[in-house]
Amino acid sequence: MMWMLPGFSSALSRDRWTNGEPYGVFFNNYDPNFYTGFVPRVQDKERIKIHMGRGNQIRIRMILPDKTIDNYLPDQVARHDLYKEVIDRKIIKLTSNTSWEKYHDKVMREKLHELVKKRADMTPEEWRKLNLTYMDKLAPGRLFHIQKDFNKMSEDFAKLLKASPKPQTLKAKLDLINDFFPHRIFLHQLSKEQDAVFTQLEHLARSDNMAAFRPLAEEFFHSITDKIYPITDDVLDYYEFTSIYPAGTYDVTTTYNGNVIPMYTTTGVWSLIPRKHGKGFLGTVDYISSAGYYGMMPMLPYQYGGGRAYNAIHNPGISCWIPGHKLLPKEWRKITEGSRNGKPYNRVAIASRGPVSHGCTRLNAGHLTETREMLPSTSKGMEGIMHYRSLSHLYDVFDLKGDGDDQVMGVQYYIAYRHTKSRVAQEIWAQNNRKDFYSWLYGDEINYGPIGDVTFKKVYDYKFLKRKALQGKEYKEIKLYEAPYEPEYLQFYTINGVKKLSRKGVDFNLELRRVGNGYEIDRKKLLLE
């Protein structure tokens, strides 16, 4: 593989986008904002996994604990009521859009407060089912019930160990271990204790001693997965919540098999870290930058770059001034839906699903806000969340239902551009329709067809050794899963009498995002006491 300077690809164009379908967040000013959707919050960092693969998308998978499920409806009501309190007491003033009103109307229409009051009259099983029903209803298409016969998993693992050559290297051992639960175990190193147990399992498998193998395999499984997968009566049975968002990557391309593709410069296994260097108020994972183009939204660092530089997951890092813009569809100039003053918006924030950044990973503003909502309430709780990043040409292959139906992960979002140093969108990588965009993004690697019928001729997934990303298994004629573009839910506001970038302003912004079971809101930071 060879890297190429930005702009080398002939795909870049200064043509206007012709597809008028709106994407992104339309707004007027860089004001603070809060989330107005209905995703669940998971407080356990071990249960949250972030993946990025070829195709420029991030997949966030959360293995839901019982406490997240049982507190889903109460959390939604608590968050709504806190928003309503700071609005009704005129601590904040809503600006730009009317997402709050739409969100409030839905909470009232679904009668969430009344549902919460029913808890005392329901059995634990009835209450759990109610919460799962509404999680699926309010955040549709992302909740998956995973059920596996653990005895069969153990038997298959034993057969694999017996049939495989004796592993001589850490890499060979990891390849076997990760096949215990494919695409859901990404073990990249072994402790001495785990290595010793694996050696025992291998010996038991080769001697066909399943009576001893089965209980030791379950113990080993829990050890290598941080006990996040529950097994009851020999059945692995739990719920996952999976979100897929388009992502922007470093503004460099590379070539693979003759195709020019986005290059990923930060690859391997990383974790979220607090920002300790730079401007502003430091020391947190959900750091808020003073630079306007970061939109008063949390940045989630995963790599320290020296000096005050970090690579992080953050918002688009740019907003487009709509009137007179030479690239945006002309129809966007007249959009007034949800406008608080009834007039067309001044700006739109749209992420580029392609080479665009200075090293960070960029998400749409609403998707970043939603991501923050799903993560633990506190900064400390977010430290160490695992972030798996593939090599540039390796795909995120996953089976959403846990049924072995492997597919390449993708998303229905067809916008990619480059911008100038002054952060003005200047060139597009492709026209913003599905066919042209896929021709640029995937090249001749796909057999194009309708949604659900795109297949890849040959791809590889990824794996990891220690912290290094490596090429994994080969797949032929594998389908592309095209996740729907998730609507972006956020409401802009100003804090009455408080500057947004003051200590009080930043603390308010951060605290308003932290509602969740197990976390006690600091009402002083929200100016309620």
Ramachandran region of residue 304, left (φ > 0), alpha (ψ -120 to 50) or beta?
A: beta
Q: What mean pLDDT is predicted for residues 315-328?
A: 95
Q: Give the separation between CA 329 and CA 16, rounded to whole angstroms.
A: 6
Say if residue 402's pLDDT is above 80.
yes
Looking at 2-11, 53-62, 107-116, which range is the least confident one? 2-11
Residue 221 dihedral angles phi and psi, to the nearest 5°: -55, -45
For 261, the token pair is 């593709």
C-beta separation of 266 from 260 below 8 A: no
Given this model, what pLDDT does residue 386 score? 97
Given this model, what pLDDT does residue 280 score? 84
Beta strands at 407-411 and 468-483: parallel, antiparallel or unpaired: parallel
Q: Give the separation between CA 197 and CA 190, rounded to whole angstroms.
A: 10
Q: What mean pLDDT is predicted for residues 189-217?
A: 97
Residue 1: alpha-carbon gap to chain centroid? 28
Say if residue 3's pLDDT is above 50.
no
Say if residue 5's pLDDT is above 70.
no
Arch. (CATH architecture) of 2-65+243-487? Beta Barrel (2.40)
In percent, how much of the chain has pLDDT > 90? 95
Bridge partners of 331, per DSSP, are none
For the chain, which residues make up each domain, given as ranges? 2-65+243-487, 145-239
C-beta separation of 338 from 103 below 8 A: no
Say if residue 11's pLDDT is above 70.
yes
Helix axes 124-138, 72-88, angle to 10 degrees: 60
For 340, the token pair is 């608080």
Q: pLDDT class for 4, splitting at 50, 70, 90?
A: very low
Q: pLDDT class for 145, splitting at 50, 70, 90?
A: very high
Find the Cα–Cα–Cα–Cα dihedral 38, 39, 43, 47, rounded to 10°: 170
Say if residue 114's pLDDT is above 90.
yes
Q: Which strands form 309-314's sheet, in the order they lie side by side? A: 287-288, 298-306, 309-314, 361-362
Given this model, what pLDDT does residue 9 score? 43
C-beta separation of 3 from 254 below 8 A: yes
Q: What mean pLDDT is predicted for residues 257-265?
A: 93
Cα-based distances in Å from 252 to 35, 51, 247: 32, 20, 14
HSE on the CB side for 106, CA within 13 Å? 16
Q: What mean pLDDT is predicted for residues 147-169?
A: 97
Q: pLDDT class for 7, splitting at 50, 70, 90?
A: very low
Neighbour tally for 246: CB within 10 Å: 28
Given this model, what pLDDT does residue 422 score? 87
Q: Give the separation between CA 160 and CA 136, rounded to whole angstroms.
A: 36
Q: pLDDT class for 390, splitting at 50, 70, 90?
A: very high
Neighbour tally for 61: CB within 10 Å: 20
Q: Give the separation between CA 170 and CA 188, rounded to whole angstroms.
A: 9
Mean of all residue pLDDT scores within the chain: 96
pLDDT, tens digit, 9 for 90 and up, residues 272-318: 999 999 888 999 999 999 999 999 999 999 999 999 999 999 999 99
Cβ contacts of 415 within 8 Å, gap of 6 or more = 17, 23, 24, 246, 350, 351, 352, 353, 432, 437
Nearest to 176 by CA among 211, 210, 145, 206: 206
Taken in order 375, 26, 34, 491, the sign of the CA dihedral is negative
Cβ contacts of 234 within 8 Å, gap of 6 or more = 149, 150, 151
Cβ contacts of 298 within 8 Å, gap of 6 or more = 285, 286, 287, 288, 314, 368, 372, 510, 513
Bridge partners of 2, per DSSP, are 255
C-beta separation of 358 from 248 below 8 A: no
Given this model, what pLDDT does residue 279 score? 86
Given this model, what pLDDT does residue 6 score? 39
Q: What mean pLDDT is predicted for residues 250-260?
A: 93
In percent, how much of the chain has pLDDT > 70? 98
Q: Which amino acid is at 81?
A: D
